[in-house]
Structure 1
Amino acid sequence: MNHTQDPQEIYEKIGQLIWSIFPDNGLEAYFYMQIYKTSTEKVYNWLTENGDKARYGFGDAPYNVYDKIEEQLKVLQQHEIFKKEPWTHCKVTVTDEGKLTINFAYIENENSWPGLYMRGVSELTVEEADEYGIPYEDWVKQQNKKAKA
């Protein structure tokens, strides 16, 4: 991985990749990713002009573009600028005007859950945990860890 690549160049590449798959009816597109040593997870969806969330149907998604975005985000995660404050989750937003925003969060692997981005299990209410399919016992375990911290 190229640790010396200018982060701005990486941001621009990510923005261009997302723009290349930006839907015609989209107001904002979102690319979420979790990156851990043993696993990664990513999802792409968008907000339509009607205010609905949408995503590509199974088999219709541009997985090759998703993989290129993932590659760029992995390079970015390993960049020197993130050595002191590493991140494990990110959310990339691109608007219909081409504006790019990237938000980062550090969430320990034990506090993460598939499909839960930018928040840890410990940050959820019991109702939210249920919506994500998180077993009550796992939610309680993370709540107890949070209380001890």
Structure 2
Amino acid sequence: MKSEQIIYQEIKDILWSIIPPKESKIAFRGYIYDSPNQLGCHKILDDGQMELIEIPSGILLQLMYLMKDLQKCEIFSQKPWTHFKIIFLKNKMFEVDFAYIPKEDSWVNLIMKGISDLTEEEWKNTGIPKELWEERVFYKDSGQLGKLQSYFINKERREEFSNLTDDQYIYQQIAELLRSIAPSNQCNLVLSGYVKNQLSQLDFHQVMDNGQTLHIDMSSDELLTLLQLLEDLQNCKIFAKEPWTHFHITLDKDDKFKMGFSYEN
């Protein structure tokens, strides 16, 4: 296994290969769980504010797998972490911070801080259900977290899709996400690729009426959410005896969803 110093160097080399030379100070931060994961790169402005730097999807996946490797390094065996913040100053690693925040105490775009750490004023701008925030704050420092997030989130949707199996519910989520990313509601979409351990690729295209395809860009959050859904799908009971690595999804203008699978070493 790579040492943490080698991984840090690889992360630095990757980031500075895509960052404009004029940028002198950047922050690479996020969280790594089995799923979900969130990573982002920002330039730090003179006033301390941060501005997002878009990362190509292939490079984003490289960085995610490097951070997962970093979590496994022996140096962190006694002090594991889930959240990280790495500051680079003029192409040199300037500051590295880690925090262990339980998955159930985490929230999208909440980095290096748990739900239970939020004040009421901070909570108001997060989109976190109030009951969930109150539950986490109530149990803070007790060694417990309270009810699972799923108890508080999307109660109506749980009832709406209560008759679906786990894999069918994931298909529904994938279809909704693809349609939300697409440039138009009236277009045919194709998502294909493979999901393997430490190696994944996702390609998203719009299929024109003449058969030509146009690549559709995804944000880092959209890419990681899709990857998470696909990994969750791989773990569904229905695929226990017939695992898959490669997939091909079509979503037509009428929102008819089809997904094919194959297994390749």
Alignment TM class, shorter chain as reference: 0.7 to 0.9
Change over 3 Å in CA distance of 1:63–1:29 after alignment to 2: farther
Alignment match of 1:131 (pick from 118, 122, 125): 125
Return the offset for 1:70: 1.3
Say whether 1:22 aligns with 2:15: no
- Shifted more, 120-129 versus 35-44: the winner is 35-44
Q: Distance in 1 between matches of 2:141 and 2:70?
A: 32
Which amino acid is 1:148 matched to?
S
Instruction: Report how far residue 20 of structure 1 moved.
Output: 1.4
Could you list the runs of 5+ residues in structure 1 that have no partner in the other structure?
Answer: none
Residue 140 of structure 1 and its aligned partner are, at CA, apart by: 0.5
Does the Cα contact within 8 Å between 2:24 and 2:91 map onto a contact in 1?
no
CA RMSD of aligned residues (A): 1.9
Aligned to 1:37: 34
The alpha carbon displacement at 1:136 in A equals: 1.4
| 2:47 pairs with 1:54 | no
Q: Contact between 1:19 and 1:98, CA under 8 Å: does it hold in 2?
A: yes
The one of 95, 99, 103 aligned to 1:105: 99
Could you tell me whether the CA contact under 8 Å between 2:44 and 2:51 is conserved in 1?
yes
Question: Which position in structure 1 is the counterpart of 2:86?
Answer: 92
Structure 2 stretches lacking a partner, 5+ long: 144-265
Q: Distance in 2 between matches of 1:140 and 1:25?
A: 44
Q: Which amino acid aligns with 2:92?
A: K
1:114 paired residue number? 108
Distance 1:140 1:16, change over 3 A: same
Could you list the per-position Cα deviations for residues 11-62 of structure 1 after superposition, in whole angstroms to 9, with x for gaps in the alignment? 1111111111223443421121211123211122212357552224xxx532
Query: Could you say which residue in structure 2 is the equivalent of 1:11?
Result: 8
Please give the alpha-carbon distance, in whole angstroms, between the structure 2 residues aligned to 1:29 and 1:117: 16
Q: Is the 8 A contact 1:18 1:94 kept in 2?
A: no
The yes-or-no answer on 1:80 pairing with 2:77 is no
Amino acid in the other structure paired with 1:131: N
The one of the two structures with greater contact order (alpha-carbon pairs below 8 A, sep at least 6) is 1
Give the Cα separation in 1 of the matches to 2:40 and 2:119: 23
Q: 3-state DSSP class of the match of 1:43?
A: strand
Looking at structure 2, the residues matched to 88 and 23 of structure 1 have their Cα atoms a distance apart, in angstroms, of 29
Quote the Cα distance in structure 2 between the aligned partners of 1:52 and 1:122.
24
Aligned-pair CA distance for 1:7: 1.3
Map of 2:57 onto structure 1? 63
Q: In the aligned structure 1, how far is the partner of 2:136 from the partner of 2:40?
A: 24
Give TM-score scaled by structure 2 length: 0.49
Q: Report the count of equivalent residues.
A: 142
